[in-house]
Amino acid sequence: MPTMTLPGLTTPGRATSSQGRKPWAMLGVATLGFAVNFWAWALLSPLGVHFKTVLNLSGFNQALLVAVPVVVGSLGRIPVGALTDRFGGRVMFPLVSFITVIPVLFLGLVGYRSFGALLVGGFFLGIGGTSFAVGVPFVNAWFPPEKRGLALGIFGMGMGGTAISALTTVKLVEHSSIHTPFAIVAGVLVGYGLLAWLVLRDAPNRAAPAGSAWQRLRATVKLPITWQASALYAVGFGGYVAFSVYLPTYLKTTYSLSQSDAANKMAGFVLLAVVMRPIGGWLSDWMAPTRVLAVAFTVVTAFALVQSTTPGLKPTSTVAFLAMAAALGLASGAVFAFVAQRSPADRVGAVTGVVGAAGGLGGFIPPLLMGTIHDQSGSYAGGLVALSIVAALTLTFTFVIGGSRASARKA
């Protein structure tokens, strides 16, 4: 039975195959770029405690310092995604990497001395976080529809760049100086920018959009897929971001773990989510992405409710958090398979920008909510119950949009 596709959606992938191109090589270089830029984007977060002590920051100022790059990187995906639709990843990957070098060097040489300078540097450091909106349309154009879920899932593993920062930044400062991690990352960014300029090529017959960036953005926000995927990603990827930021605090407070033990368990959570992301994309290649999302949000609903009872750390709590990590990774991969299937080919970047922004911003509401609930009640139970309710509502929404698509096909 023939399947319906949007005009121009399969042309790049088929042209690539017939001309003997190497889409997997392009995917590899793009994923490397995503990881390197995310490494830069996450430089300030591991040093939050250091700056709080050295600069005598309040808890709010420490949180603001960590949040600024993430918020800017999330919102910046909207214009960068639109620009990628217009100019292509071959231009935008080196451009984003080279621009990110500037705030990295500023922070490492000057900005670390004062809170105000850290905020300014952190604001522009957020540019590194926009690399996600460059890679999705770039990778999407290189692959045929039946392989896009897996390809985009593999690209999404670049979010592991945040783990590189978490594992290396503090150690480099302790064993060398505050300048060292910033100097290393700046050098890596320059090296990657040169590599990308020399190696990356946009897919043949890439669908170039018409009209101005503002006109395309206005048209993008009118697409149902934009808001459907934004809602799904705000919970799926937003949940991952929230746990990767707040889990050490939760574990230290709730189970009296040491800072290092809590950080190691958080690293395990992140690693599992990263590994599951391409699996979510791969599963979405041969079944409806909404089915994968339904399974993922069912797991989150159930295990968030289990964890709200504050069970023992071993084995119940450990199983609960690992199950949620796997589910959130699956959901993150499935959302962009969903985007690739339903977005017009010339607007994938613009849609990705809006959806990526929703996911990044969605990750910073739960930690604030958890902290407030704990301050008021002395327990995190209410926050986890809220997560379970939100996941259940998202599950219902997934069934609605999945059912509407099926009805449309029958019609």
Measure the CA–CA gap between 268 and 11, rounded to whole angstroms. Answer: 40
Measure the CA–CA gap between 110 and 127, rounded to whole angstroms. Answer: 19
| pLDDT at residue 294, as a whole number | 94
Measure the CA–CA gap between 82 and 353, rounded to whole angstroms. Answer: 7
DSSP string, 88-148: -HHHHHHHHHHHHHHHHHHHHHTGGG-HHHHHHHHHHHGGGGGHHHHHHHHHHHHS-HHHH
Question: Do 254 and 307 reside in the same domain of the chain?
Answer: yes
Number of domains in the chain: 2
56 CB burial (10 A radius; 0-12, 13-18, 19+): exposed
Question: Do 54 and 161 reside in the same domain of the chain?
Answer: yes
Last residue of a domain, one of 211, 239, 256: 211
Per-residue pLDDT of 221-264, as tens digits, reads 888 888 999 999 999 888 887 777 677 777 877 888 776 677 77
Last residue of a domain, one of 186, 211, 236: 211
Question: Do 248 and 170 reside in the same domain of the chain?
Answer: no
Whether 16 is covered by a domain: the verdict is: yes
Per-residue pLDDT of 167-203, as tens digits, reads 788 889 888 899 999 999 999 999 999 999 999 999 8
Burial 100-112 (b: 16+ CB within 10 A, else e): bbebbbbbbeebb
Question: Do 240 and 166 reside in the same domain of the chain?
Answer: no
Question: Do 197 and 287 reside in the same domain of the chain?
Answer: no
Domain with residue 104: its CATH number is: 1.20.1250.20
Whether 358 is covered by a domain: the verdict is: no
| pLDDT at residue 21, as a whole number | 57
Question: Do 206 and 235 reside in the same domain of the chain?
Answer: no
Distance from the Cα of residue 323 to its chain's centroid: 19
Using 50 as the pLDDT threshold, list the residues of the chain that sit under it: 1-20, 406-411
Whether 242 is covered by a domain: the verdict is: yes
Question: Do 34 and 133 reside in the same domain of the chain?
Answer: yes
DSSP string, 241-302: HHHHHHHHHHHHHHH---HHHHHHHHHHHHHHHHHHHHHHHHHHHHS-HHHHHHHHHHHHHH
| pLDDT at residue 293, as a whole number | 94
Question: Do 314 and 375 reside in the same domain of the chain?
Answer: yes
| pLDDT at residue 213, as a whole number | 65
Question: Do 337 and 207 reside in the same domain of the chain?
Answer: no
Last residue of a domain, one of 211, 245, 269: 211
Question: Do 290 and 251 reside in the same domain of the chain?
Answer: yes
Q: CA 208 → CA 20, 127, 197, 238, 295, distances in Å? A: 22, 23, 20, 30, 36
| pLDDT at residue 11, as a whole number | 40
| pLDDT at residue 403, as a whole number | 57
Whether 216 is covered by a domain: the verdict is: no
Whether 33 is covered by a domain: the verdict is: yes
Q: In 176-258, which residue ranges form alpha helices assigned H by DSSP?
A: 179-199, 213-221, 224-255
For tokens 């959570």, the residue is 269
Whether 78 is covered by a domain: the verdict is: yes
Question: Do 169 and 284 reside in the same domain of the chain?
Answer: no
Question: Do 200 and 293 reside in the same domain of the chain?
Answer: no
Whether 299 is covered by a domain: the verdict is: yes
Q: Are 131 and 33 in contact (CB under 8 A)?
A: yes
Domain enclosing residue 93, as ranges:
1-211
Whether 82 is covered by a domain: the verdict is: yes
Q: CA 140 → CA 208, 232, 334, 385, 392, distances in Å? A: 13, 19, 14, 37, 30
